[in-house]
Amino acid sequence: MSSHRREKPARTTGHGHGHGADLAAVRVGTTARTVLLAVLALALVGTLAGLAIWWPPADAAQRSAEAGGPAAQFAAPGVTFPSAEVVAVAPRCAGNGLPDGSGCSSLTVKVAPGEKGAGETVRVDVPPEVIDSGIGKGDHVELLRTPTPEAELEASYSYFATERHGTLIWLTLLFVAVVLAVARLRGLLGLVGLAFGGAVVWWWMLPALLDGAPGVGVAMTGASAIMFVVLYTTHGFSLRTSAALAGTLLGIVLTAGIGVLAIGDARLTGISDEGGAILATFGALDFQALLGCALIIAGLGVLNDVTITQASAVWELRAATPDASRTEVFASAMRIGRDHIASTIYTIVFAYVGTALILLMLLRVYDRPLLELISTEQLAEEVIRTLVTSIGLVLAVPVTTAVAALIAAPHADRR
C-alpha cells in the first residue's frame, strides 16, 4: 500500500475557479507526487538550459538589422518624426484631388516645442479615412520630416500617424483598475505574470529569434519559462498548480509537434504579408520555424486557462467525494472539461474572426469560391493556426485531468 499525504486547499480563490476554505483536505499519493515533481524538475532544468543556450547577444537586433542593409532602416538618415498639434481640419471633399484622396483631405498642424522645426505651421495631406475618424483641432499627429538637401534648415512634411498615447494610457489604467477591483490580490498577481510574460517575449524571445535560434525551440523554452512563473505566481505553490503546469507543458509539446507537421505538410512559407517580406531582408531567418513559434505562443493563454480549470475541478471533486475512485473523479472532471472545450473553441475561432474581419470581408466579395481561396498563404496560415491551437488545448484537457486525478488520491485505496 502506497503512503499518502494530505494537501489543504487554498484559502483564496483564483482565476475564477473556487478553492473554498471549507473543503476537506485532499489526500495525495506519494508515488504520483514524486513522479510529478521529478518531471517538473526535469522540465525546469531543460527550460533553464534552453534560456542559457539561446541567450541572445545584447546587439542581436542591431546585427540582424545590419545584415539587412538599407532595407533594415526605418527611415533615411536625417528624417525625424516630430509631434504636431492639429490647428485646422480641411473637410473631406468629393471629386477633387488624387484618386487616393491626397490633395483634397488635409490638416493644418503646428510642430510641437522641442522638436526640429518647432513652431512651424504646415499643411499636410492625409488619407480620407483620417478625416472620417473624427480627428479635430487640438488632436496630435506624428509627422515625417524630410530635410531638404539644398537647405539644411528647410524640410518637407508629411503625415505619418495619429498620436493615440492618451487613449492607450487611460484604457490601460482602466484595465488595471478593473482587474484589481474585481480580482484583488489574484488580479495583481495576474498582472505581474502578464508583465513577466511580456518581458520574456520582448527581451529574450524576439532577440533570440533575430539571432537565428530555432523558432520552435525558442517558443517551447519561452512558453515553459512563462508558465512556470505565471502559474505559481498567480495560483500559488501547490500540487494542484503543479498538475495544471504539467498539463500545460504537455499541451505545449503537443501543439508544437502537430504544428510542425501541419506547417510542413501544407508547405506554408511563413511569409504571408508585407511585414514578413520586410523581415526576410534582415537575414537568413527560418520563417517556417517562426510560424511554428507563433502557433505555440498563440495558444498559450487559452491552454493555461483549460489546464488550471481541470486541475481545480479535480481537486474540488476529490474534496467533495473523498472515497470516489480515480476513474470516477476523472470521468466527472471530464464532463466539466467537455463543456469548457466547447466554449474555448468558440473563443479561439471568434477571436480570429474579429482580428481578421477586414480580410474575411475582402474574401467575401471576391468572385471565387471560399474553398479555392482557403488555400492561399494568408488564409491557410490562420486556419492552421486556429486548428493546431484548438487541437492542442483539447488534448490538454484529458491529459491534465488524468495527471490531477492520479495526484489526488481517494481516502480508501480504490482505483
Q: Is pLDDT of 77 > 90?
A: no
Q: Is pLDDT of 17 > 60?
A: no
> What pLDDT does residue 263 have?
93
Res. 66 pLDDT band, cuts 50 70 90:
low
Res. 154 pLDDT band, cuts 50 70 90:
confident
Segment 295-298 long-range contacts (CB within 8 Å, at least 24 positions apart): 295/219, 295/255, 295/256, 295/259, 295/263, 295/384, 295/385, 295/388, 295/389, 296/216, 296/219, 296/220, 296/223, 296/252, 296/255, 296/256, 296/259, 297/201, 297/219, 297/222, 297/223, 298/385, 298/389
Residue of 75 and 147 predicted with greater confidence: 147
Q: At which residue does the C-alpha cell 512634411 appear? A: 157
Res. 52 pLDDT band, cuts 50 70 90:
very high
**Best CA proximity match to 200, nearest among 187, 219, 176:** 219
Segment 141-150 mean pLDDT: 84
> What pLDDT does residue 12 have?
37
Q: Is pLDDT of 360 > 50?
A: yes
> What pLDDT does residue 95 have?
52
Res. 73 pLDDT band, cuts 50 70 90:
low
Beta bridge partners of 89: 107
Q: Is pLDDT of 3 > 50?
A: no
- Tens digits of residue pLDDT in 108-144: 999 988 888 788 899 998 988 888 888 989 999 999 8
> What pLDDT does residue 283 have?
67
Segment 37-58 mean pLDDT: 93
Segment 369-380 mean pLDDT: 80
> What pLDDT does residue 324 have?
87
Least confident residue range of 27-41, 222-236, 243-257, 358-372: 358-372
What percent of the chain lies above the pLDDT cut of 70? 84
The dihedral sign for the CA sequence 261, 262, 266, 270: negative
| List of residues 6+ apart from 151 with CB closer than 8 A | none
CA distances from 148 to 73, 113, 157, 200 (A): 19, 21, 10, 42
Q: Within a 10 A sphere around the Cβ of 241, how many other Cβ atoms?
A: 22
Give the integer Cα–Cα distance in Å for 29 and 33: 6
> What pLDDT does residue 412 have?
58
- Tens digits of residue pLDDT in 222-264: 999 999 999 999 888 889 999 999 999 999 999 999 999 999 9
Domain ranges of the chain: 4-54+170-409, 83-163
Segment 294-323 mean pLDDT: 89
